[in-house]
Chain A
Amino acid sequence: MATVSIRAVRKAFGSHEVLHGVDVEVADGEFVILVGPSGCGKSTLLRMIAGLENITRGDIAIGDRVVNNVAPKERDIAMVFQNYALYPHMTVRDNMAFSLLLAKAPKQVIDEKVGRAASILGLTPYLDRYPRQLSGGQRQRVAMGRAIVRDPQVFLFDEPLSNLDAKLRVAMRAEIKDLHQRLGTTTVYVTHDQIEAMTMADKIVVMNSGNVEQIGAPLELYDRPANLFVAGFIGSPAMNFVRGRIEGGSLRSGSVSFPLPPGAPAGHTGDVIYGIRPEHLRLDPQGIAASIVVVEPTGSETQVIMKFGDATMLGETRPVGAFRERIADTPGATLHVSPDTSLVHLFDEATGARLN
């Protein structure tokens, strides 16, 4: 096991720079998730750790060793690919044994390691099958098995669950996390799905167009997003953003007033984004009037898409509330909601930076 240090790493394809100086420290045994929208550079960064892309500038170190010029096979890492990259002409057993075979491991060692990985992953009955004869989830497990038998210092996962259906994805999510808890191997995992990131990671690195936006534990990012991008990216349903100005101890948007959180910069001039998560709105007869647009009951809670009078929202979004109560009102009716002021986030619209 080892640490991974990414120091001021840049990557350019020709003259087009896709990573603009990224710093990430991964502690020994930590499960770190790189998350961000498509094209943010997260997969490129992972492939640079693996050695499949070279490093334009900066250093990547695994353990104490800078690996910039170390061949992929010497880096002691194992990678699970998005499409699994299983060798179609080899059985499950041979797929898992391939790296050991190339390393000229004795047959007894190979059998033992493959057998152990197969039993960890519940693949023992399928060892003599070919990848095509397996379901998506089983293929996914074989890909992980291939990584496990190598007993590497670092596991790299490149969007491993994106080819699975929703139900299987939830199951495999737990399985991967459980596997990490059992093996304790340092893991770097790439996904565009913030729920995957929230549920699995010890530490999340939020990336956007080649930059790191914020690094922190999942709940840190949820509780105190450092900027507008992270606030909008983390959390489901996404945070509501009301656009307004701070006037006389509250935020005014159109003719609607929203209560400010403690510690708000009262003297701030310029446009402010008032962020409140749907689950931090509650029904309150004295609250802000909102007309109902759509009611979406999910059983455990009720999501309501609303309209706050003439208040303006950021972009084309409409405010959403998620309430524990069941709501019988029909579209067009008026609800009264109030935000939990201790959980309100304020951002400067121009810079996106957090204000409170």
Chain B
Amino acid sequence: MDASTWKPSRAEPSWLARLFDYKPFLIFICLLPAIGLLLAFLTYPLGLGIYLAFTDTEIGGNGEWVGLENFISLLDDRIFITSVWNTLFYTFTATVLKFALGLWLALLLNHHIPFKSFLRAIILLPYITPTVLSAIAFWWIYDPQFSIISYVLVDRLHILDHYIDFLGTPWAARWSLIVANVWRGIPFVAITLLAGLQTISPSLYEAALLDGASPWQSFRHITSPLLMPILAIVMTFSVLFTFTDFQLVYAITRGGPINSTHLMATLAFQRGIPGAQLGEGAAIAVAMIPFLVFATLFSYYALGRRKWQQGSDND
């Protein structure tokens, strides 16, 4: 046989090959691992948690079904009420600050400034530091005796005459935690918003410039509406992360002083594991679900493609 007479040969595919060419079967096979993992590691713990919330289980003992009793008792629990209020305040304030500062940073980095790529790398530092590590660093910064802030203000600059007790009183502790959370959350916001800013075509700004827009007007009419879709996504994730925050608070204050900085997540852990009341801890955790569902629904509607995003993209 030579090159001119050779023909590619085609064997009949086997039943196995035909099965794998069958699209519904292929979809089923490809989805199976993901669905299996979801069932084993998400649905089961979530279901167990919800079940525990309706029992009086303690560590080391089997609980009994008590219906809504855990939730009813939580309604009269002043510490729980404080934790709900703390969580909302913490989430709201930290999110507002993170977005204000993060957007500002993103806008700065979107301009041509010296050492731009170096600055971008630096900005990510708080985000890549393990949370517990940065929490311990903040714990030191907020220490009543060894705080570097107090040292600078009192011993060096002589602005104050006494050391600040960052974590000793409820409000000081709350704000201290918010500052730590903002410091940690800014990189995520700044980098994602920067990515969003970079998708906006520079020629739109040039067109706006020729149309007579001032820098503020081009921010208001061009940047902010075009950034809105990505802003909504980032906002949703940021709210979810902040609302469920545990590590920072538990490492810095453990909910103190006198339970005044407990978030719902830390209180649930406190009651469930060290306090051994698994059922009550689970009930607190379950009480977070409505808030999270609300945040997710908000994202669902905010993320829905806006009317101007529909249609073809090809120029």
Interface segment out of the listed A5-13, A75-83, A115-123, A318-326: A75-83
In the complex the two chains form, is B315's CB within 8 Å of A132's CB? no
The answer to whether A52 touches B306 (Cβ under 8 A) is no
Asked if B217 is at the interface (CB within 8 A of a chain A CB), the reply is: yes
Determine if A103 and B212 form an interchain contact, defined as CB atoms under 8 angstroms apart: yes
Complex Cα distance, B217 from A99, in Å, reads: 11
- Chain B residues positioned under 8 Å from A163 (CB to CB): 315
Select which of A51, A72, A89, A136 is within 8 A of B306 by beta carbon. A89
- Cα of A150 to Cα of B212 in the assembled complex, Å: 11
Interchain CA distance A150-B210 in the complex, whole Å:
10
Question: Per-residue 0/1 for A208-236: is the Cβ within 8 Å of any B Cβ (1 yes, 0 no)?
Answer: 00000000000000000000000000000
Interface-facing stretch out of B115-123, B168-176, B200-208, B276-284:
B200-208
CB distance from A208 to the nearest CB of B (A): 26
B310 proximity list for chain A (CB < 8 A): 130, 132-133
* A132-B212 CB under 8 A given contacts A83-B315, A85-B201, A102-B217: no
CB atoms of A83 and B203 under 8 A apart:
yes
Chain B residues with CB under 8 Å of A133's CB are 310-311
**B213 at the binding interface (Cβ < 8 Å):** yes
Asked whether, in the complex, the Cβ of B308 is within 8 Å of the Cβ of A130, the reply is yes
Residues of B within 8 A of A157 (CB): none
Residues of B within 8 A of A98 (CB): 208, 211, 213, 221
Q: Which residues from A are CB-within-8-Å of B308?
A: 88-91, 130-132
What is the bound-complex CA distance between A127 and B207, given in angstroms? 19
Beta-carbon contact of A102 and B212 below 8 Å: yes
A78–B211 Cα distance when bound, in Å, is 8
- Give the number of residues in B that approach A within 8 Å (Cβ atoms): 26
Q: Which residues of A contact B5 (CB under 8 A)?
A: none
Which A-chain residue is minimally distant from B202 (CB atoms)? A85
A-B contacts counted at CB < 8 A amount to 79
B213 near A130: Cβ-Cβ < 8 Å: no
A102 to B215, CA, bound (A): 12
Q: State how many angstroms separate the Cβ of B202 from the closest Cβ of chain A.
A: 9
B211, B307, B310: residue with the most chain A Cβ atoms closer than 10 Å: B211
User: How does the 8 Å CB contact mask read for A316-353 relative to B, with 1 for contact and 0 for none?
Assistant: 00000000000000000000000000000000000000
Q: How many residues of A are in contact with the other chain, CB < 8 A?
A: 32
Q: Determine whether A73 belongs to the interface, using a CB cutoff of 8 Å to chain B.
A: yes
Contact B212 A73 (CB under 8 A): yes
- Evaluate contact between B207 and A81: CB separation under 8 angstroms: yes
User: Who on chain B is nearest to A102 by CB?
Assistant: B212
Among B204, B207, B306: residue with most chain A CB under 10 A: B207
B214 CB → nearest A CB, Å = 8
Please name the residue on chain B nearest to A99 by beta carbon: B211
B61 at the interface (CB under 8 A from A): no
Beta-carbon nearest neighbor of B311 in chain A: A132
B139-196 contacts to A, CB under 8 A, are none
Cβ of B222 < 8 Å from any Cβ of A?
yes
The chain A residue sitting closest to B228, CB to CB, is A89
Which of these, B201, B209, B217, B226, contacts A83 with CB under 8 Å?
B201
Quick check: B206 and A81 within 8 Å, CB to CB?
Answer: yes
> A72's contact among B201, B210, B307, by CB below 8 Å, is which?
B210
A residues near B210, Cβ cutoff 8 Å: 50-52, 72-73, 77-79, 99
**How far is the CB of B303 from the nearest CB of chain A, in Å?**
16
Task: Report the minimum CB–CB distance from A124 to chain B (whole Å).
Answer: 19
Tell me if B211 and A84 are in contact (CB < 8 A): no
Which residue of A is nearest B217, CB measured?
A102
> Are B211 and A132 in contact (CB-based, < 8 A)?
no
**Is the C-beta of A139 less than 8 angstroms from some C-beta in chain B?**
yes
Closest residue of B by beta carbon distance from A50: B210
CA distance A35 to B133 in the complex (A): 62
Residues of chain B lying within 8 A (CB to CB) of residue A132: 308-313
Binary interface encoding of chain A residues 91-120 relative to chain B, with 1 for a CB under 8 A from any of its CBs, else 0: 100000011001100000000000000000
In whole angstroms, how far apart are the Cα atoms of A263 and B152 in the complex? Answer: 91
B47 CB-CB contact with A under 8 Å: no
Q: Which chain A residues border B225 with CB–CB below 8 Å? A: 89
Instruction: Point out the residues of chain B lying under 8 angstroms from A150, CB to CB.
Output: 211
How far does the alpha carbon of A79 sit from the alpha carbon of B209 in the complex, in Å? 11
- CB contacts (< 8 Å) of A77 on chain B: these are 210
CB-CB < 8 A to B226: which residues of A?
Answer: 88-89
**Smallest CB gap from B314: residue in A:** A136
- B307-A87 in contact (CB<8A): no
Instruction: State in angstroms the CA–CA spacing of A82 and B209 once bound together.
Output: 16
Instruction: Note all chain A residues with C-beta closer than 8 A to B312.
Output: 132
User: Which residues of chain A are within 8 angstroms of B311 by Cβ–Cβ distance?
Assistant: 130-134
Chain B nearest CB: distance from A46 CB in Å?
12
A window 283-333: CB within 8 A of B:
none
Instruction: Please give, as numbers and ranges, the residues of chain A lying within 8 Å of B203 by CB-CB distance.
Output: 81-83, 85
- Contacting pair B206 A102 (CB below 8 A): no
Q: Which residues of B contact A52 (CB under 8 A)?
A: 206, 209-210
In contact, A102 and B211 (Cβ under 8 angstroms): yes
In the bound complex, residues from chain B placing their C-beta under 8 Å from that of A102 are 211-213, 217
Tell me whether B206 and A87 are in contact (CB under 8 A).
no
8 Å CB interface, A245-301 against B = none
A87 touching B217, Cβ below 8 Å: no
- Return the chain A residue nearest B207 by Cβ: A85
Supplied contacts A73-B209, A83-B203, A85-B204, 14 more A-B pairs, CB within 8 Å: A52-B210, A73-B210, A73-B213, A83-B201, A85-B206, A85-B207, A87-B204, A88-B309, A98-B213, A99-B211, A99-B212, A102-B212, A146-B207, A150-B211
The 10 A-B residue pairs with the shortest CB-CB distance, nearest first, are A132-B311, A99-B211, A73-B212, A85-B207, A85-B203, A133-B311, A130-B308, A89-B308, A89-B225, A102-B212
Spell out B's residues near A (CB within 8 Å): 201, 203-204, 206-213, 217, 221-222, 225-226, 306-315
29 A-B residue pairs with Cβ-Cβ distance under 8 Å, sorted by A, are: A52-B206, A72-B209, A73-B209, A73-B211, A73-B213, A79-B206, A81-B203, A83-B203, A83-B315, A85-B207, A88-B308, A88-B309, A89-B308, A98-B213, A98-B221, A99-B210, A99-B212, A102-B217, A130-B307, A130-B310, A130-B311, A132-B308, A132-B311, A132-B312, A139-B315, A146-B207, A146-B211, A150-B211, A163-B315
